[in-house]
Amino acid sequence: MLKELPSVLVADDDPSIRKMLKTFLELEEFQVSEAADGEEAVSAAVEKSPQAVVLDVMMPGLNGYEVCRKLREHEKTRNSVIVFLSVAGKLDSRIQGFEIGADDYLCKPADPLELAARLKAHLRRNSIQKEKEAMLEKLAEKLAVMNQRLQVEAAADSLTKLYNRRYFLKRIEEEIRRSSRYSRFFCFLILDLDRFKEINDQYGHPFGDFVLKEFAAMLQGQLRGADLISRWGGEEFAVLLPETPLAEGKTVAERLKQACSAFSFPHLPPGKPTFSAGIVGFPEHGSSFNQLYETADKALYEAKTRGRNLILAG
C-alpha cells in the first residue's frame, strides 16, 4: 500500500520561488500544488483541500492576508495549516498574519529545511489533535450508550423487566396532562395476584419470583404497544390504556383475566393463580392520579372481599 503524502499548496507570484519550493518539498515527501496569485490560491485550496498552504503576502489581486481570511472562513480549508512566507517581515506584518489566522510566519529568504520542518511539526500536531478528537467522539458515543442503558435500567423492575413504579407514575402524570389538554380519555388498572403468599409458602420464594415473571410476560403479550404495564410492588401490577374509554377498558381487563385462566404455570393447578383488579377511567373517576388510584384501589379491595378473581370498576 502506497504511503499517502501530505498535501501542500504553494501560493506565490514568483514562478522561480514556486519551482524551488515545489522541488524541495517534494524531496521532503510532500505532494505539492501551485497557485500564482490570490484568486487562484483560494480556488485551488477550496478544490483540493490541502493539509497546508504556504502563502506569500504580496500577490496581485487578493493579497496573502485576504487569502488567509477566506480560507479560514471556508469549511473545506478552515483547518488547513497556513504558513506565511514573505519579504514583509516587520513585527506588525507578522502580528497581522497571526491575528488573521496563520499558524506560522517565515521571512524570505527562508531556509527550505526550516520550512519543511515547521510544516511537518504543524501537521503532526494536527494529526494528534484529530486523533484526540476522534477518541473523544468515540468516548462520547460510548457514554451516550451507557447513559441510555442506565436510563432503561433505572426505569425497569429488576425481576420482571417491566417498567417500575417510579417510571409508571411519571408516564401517567404525562398522560393526565395530555388527556386534559386535548379532552381525551384513558383507563387505569391495578391488578393483584390472588393468594400469592400461599404460592411462596408452598413452593418457595424463587418459584414465586418465577411465577411473577411468567405472569408479567403473559400480561405484556396481551397488550398493545401503546399500553404501559409496570410492576407496582410485590404481586401488584399497574396498567395504563391510553385512548381507551372505560367500557373498552373493561373488555381489555376481562381479556387479560381469560388469558391468565388459560395460561399454564408449571407445577400449579390449571387456572392458577388468578388475579383481582380495580379499573377506573379518566376523566369520569377523577382528574388527578391520587383520585384515580384511590378509586381503583378501593375497587380492587372490593374484588378481593367478594371472593377474588374479579374485575370491578370504581
Residue 104 forms beta bridges with which residues? 83
DSSP string over 126-175 = HHHHHHHHHHHHHHHHHHHHHHHHHHHHHHB-TTT-SB-HHHHHHHHHHH
Q: Which of 40, 175, 235, 236 is catalytic?
A: 235
* CA 258 and chain centroid, separation: 41
Query: Chain-centre distance of CA 260, in angstroms?
Result: 38
Cα separation, 85 vs 109, in Å, equals 8
Contact in structure between 309 and 257 (CB atoms under 8 Å)? yes
Active site residue 235: yes
Strand order in the sheet with 275-282: 228-233, 236-242, 186-193, 275-282, 311-313
Angstrom distance (rounded) from CA 165 to CA 190? 12
**Residues with catalytic annotation?**
235
